[in-house]
Amino acid sequence: MDVKKGQVLDLRVTDIAFGGKGLAKVDGFAVFIDKTVPEDQVRVRITRKKKNYAEARVLELISPSPLRTTPRCSYSGYCGGCKWQFLEYDKQLEYKTSHVSESIEHIGLMKGVLVHRALASEKIFGYRNKMEFSCSDQRWLMPEELENKDIEKGFGIGLHAPGTFNKVIDIDACHIQPELGNQILNDVRDYIRQSTEPVYGLHSHEGFWRFLMLRHSASKNNWMVNIITSTLKKDVVMPLAEQLMECYPEVTSVVNNITARKAGIAIGEYEEHLLGESFITDNLGPYSFKISANSFFQTNTKGAENLYSVVEKYAGLTGNEHVLDLYSGTGTIPIWLSSSAKEITGIEIVESAVHDARKNCLDNQVDNCSFILGDIKDVLPTLSSRPDVMIIDPPRTGMHKDVVASVLGLAPQRIVYVSCNPSTMARDIGMLKEKYNLVEVQPVDMFPHTYHIESVARLERIEE
């Protein structure tokens, strides 16, 4: 049967694709259906037809899958934040594990690799230690709000609906952050609404209030409130900072990041420290880290401990090794491994991250880690000595091909590759296979209710 745009079909969803969409087949032809899970029986309309696949929208859920569960969040299915809340957590882990295996097989072209079942996140709600809420002068309306004439359409603070850059769902509770974050969000909303300054328009690029970023310390139960505005108006933001510090003893830091840049990124061109400390402190295992508003820190603290424990196990250190850590961020992996290696060198491109990494070593009395500031692509060819073990934790895009060539040139005995993107991980490891065996992969779930998955892979050099 030929699939055509606009066609209405009754389909049974049989699988779930990386990216979170349900997959059904029409005579072998793939149809991706948003907001569905395997074993759903659905009536859909084809919205897009390409050579090898089509996309469809659900018109009616004829018979729901037994794998469905009632989402805790009332915005589930509309908010771009977590798309899998209606899928049982156990099943989320199963599909995430298969996506890692499939990427290795289809993208990396490696068969029979041992992929362990994804390690569960200790918490599946209240796990995120950092949230960014956007302000907008255009509110995205939920279906039940469409008819309500009294709703204020020119104001919203919350998360984006998928596919919209300028509209936000006005969210009063996001369950993947700890509960107090929702009270802070609602207090900030009330304050902004009553303020004389307008919210920022993502279309017009005018207005004052841009984002609210909340950071939570899992070990201390402290909060940082970071208010992002387009200009500096201390008389406007300071009363809000005072109100939050007074109301919530848990709020120990309030800062104001200021950016006039058009890009929708919640990082200031500069920062004004308002009240309390300019950072929060969190622990990973026995180590403590000072985290400032714009530092990179894994967003699931307990999940990061799980992740780093797997990295440690796969690194197999005895205390005598020289370890090279590529993409070292604020030095969390080197510090985690410091007591089991002789020396560790990190390479990182962001100056403030390298500064934080050095400071974190001092604060934790770690003296065998050093950091090189620079682009790994340029730094690696200048290194002459071969490390015993290399840790590689690149951004989502993976490694530059010149970096892959340098890694092959240095040829350490063992590589531990850490990744938040199964596709680029599989591609990169595929390019290393002339010299390395991919022995095993452990997916680690840091992002419950999303289709994202972190993985750790162990590669051993093939002896000639």
Q: From the CB of 197, what's the least distance to ligand SAM, in Å? A: 33
Please report whether residue 393 would count as binding ligand SAM according to CB under 6 A. yes
Mark residues 305-344: x for contact with ligand SAM by CB under 6 A, - for none.
----------------------xxx--xx-----------
Q: From the CB of 407, what's the least distance to ligand SAM, in Å? A: 13
Sign of the torsion formed by the C-alpha atoms of 224, 229, 233 and 237: negative
Q: From the CB of 420, what's the least distance to ligand SAM, in Å? A: 6
Contact between 326 and 398 (Cβ < 8 Å): no
Report which residue's Cβ sits closest to ligand SAM: 329
Nearest CA to 10 among 66, 62, 47? 62
Q: From the CB of 454, what's the least distance to ligand SAM, in Å? A: 9
Q: Are strands 279-284 and 287-292 parallel, antiparallel or unpaired?
A: antiparallel
Separation CA 265–CA 228 (nearest Å): 10
Contact between 19 and 11 (Cβ < 8 Å): no
Which is nearer to ligand SAM, 86 or 297 (by Cβ)? 297
Name residues whose C-beta falls within 8 Å of residue 314's C-beta, 6 or more positions apart in sequence: 414, 416, 440, 442, 456, 457, 458
Separation CA 272–CA 229 (nearest Å): 11
Which is nearer to ligand SAM, 200 or 371 (by Cβ)? 371
Q: Show which residues are catalytic.
A: 420
End-to-end CA distance of the chain: 53
Contact between 210 and 229 (Cβ < 8 Å): yes
Nearest CA to 14 among 101, 76, 29, 6? 29
Stretch that binds ligand SAM, among 84-92, 138-146, 354-362, 373-381 (CB under 6 A): 373-381
Which is nearer to ligand SAM, 242 or 351 (by Cβ)? 351
Q: How far are the Cα atoms of 159, 259, 285, 287, 370 from residue 364, in angstroms, in the given order? A: 36, 33, 12, 6, 14
Residues 237-296 contacting ligand SAM, CB under 6 A: 296
Among 348, 356, 388, 445, binds ligand SAM (CB under 6 A): 348
Which is nearer to ligand SAM, 85 or 455 (by Cβ)? 455
Q: How far are the Cα atoms of 243, 407, 427, 453 from residue 381, in angstroms, in the given order? A: 53, 9, 22, 31
Which is nearer to ligand SAM, 155 or 327 (by Cβ)? 327
Among 173, 180, 275, 350, binds ligand SAM (CB under 6 A): 350
Q: From the CB of 336, what's the least distance to ligand SAM, in Å? A: 9
Q: From the CB of 395, what's the least distance to ligand SAM, in Å? A: 5
Among 64, 80, 198, 395, binds ligand SAM (CB under 6 A): 395
Residues 286-305 contacting ligand SAM, CB under 6 A: 296, 298
Mark residues 202-241: x for contact with ligand SAM by CB under 6 A, - for none.
----------------------------------------
Phi, psi at residue 191, to the nearest 5°?
A: -65, -45
Contact between 120 and 89 (Cβ < 8 Å): yes
Binding site for ligand SAM (CB under 6 A): 296, 298, 327-329, 332-333, 347-350, 353, 375-377, 393, 395
